[in-house]
Structure 1
Amino acid sequence: MNLIVLTPGKKIYSGGITSVKVPGTSGEFEVLKGHAAIVSSLKAGKVRIKKSEGGEMSFGIENGFIEVLKDEVSLLIQGYQE
């Protein structure tokens, strides 16, 4: 599964992942390989990424959107905080 994380000013991450957990406006949810296509808004909270080569990454956001389509995940976020 591939993920790209973009802010208005820069690309935060691009690469292979095994999962990503995001703070959806209706509650936190996790995207795994084979997830159904979805577009959802995000609220303030923490994004957690498990990289396919091992290791994890997490950061805070103020809001944004996630799109999942055929194991391609896009996060468009504002308020990135390491």
Structure 2
Amino acid sequence: MTLEILTPERKLFSGEVYGVQLPGISGSFEVLEKHAPLISALKAGRVKVLKDKQQHFAFFDIQGGFVEVLNNKATVLVEGAVPVESV
């Protein structure tokens, strides 16, 4: 699936990924390929990007925002975000 992480200033991440773990308002959740359409509010926390099935990850600390999942694409819109580390 395609993932984009966007802030008001710039596009922080864009690419094909296996999945993404997000800090939802009611708790963390994961979105994988072909997920049902969804819109959810996000709280401040850590986003874990699952780049592939071989344990390659990227992490971003985000401020609050929203995620939209539609047509095998997840768009994360946040107030601010910084990359933490990649494995």
TM-score, normalised via structure 2 length: 0.87
Instruction: Tell me which amino acid in the other structure corresponds to 2:6.
Output: L
Q: CA deviation at 1:53?
A: 8.7
CA contact (8 A) 2:5 2:14 kept: yes
Runs (4 or more) in structure 1 with deviation over 2 Å come to: 52-55
Deviation string, structure 1 residues 24-58 (Cα, Å, up to 9, x no partner): 00110000012110000000110000114962100
What percent identity do the matched residue pairs reach?
43
CA contact (8 A) 1:16 1:53 kept: no
Report the Cα distance in structure 2 between the residues aligned to 1:81 and 1:5, rounded to whole angstroms: 10
Please identify, of 49-58 and 72-81, the stretch whose mean Cα deviation from structure 2 is larger: 49-58
Unaligned runs of at least 5 residues, structure 1: none
TM-score, normalised via structure 1 length: 0.92
Instruction: Give the aligned CA root-mean-square deviation in angstroms.
Output: 1.4
What is the number of residues matched between the two proteins?
82
Which residue of structure 2 aligns with residue 68 of structure 1? 69
Which residue of structure 2 aligns with residue 34 of structure 1? 34
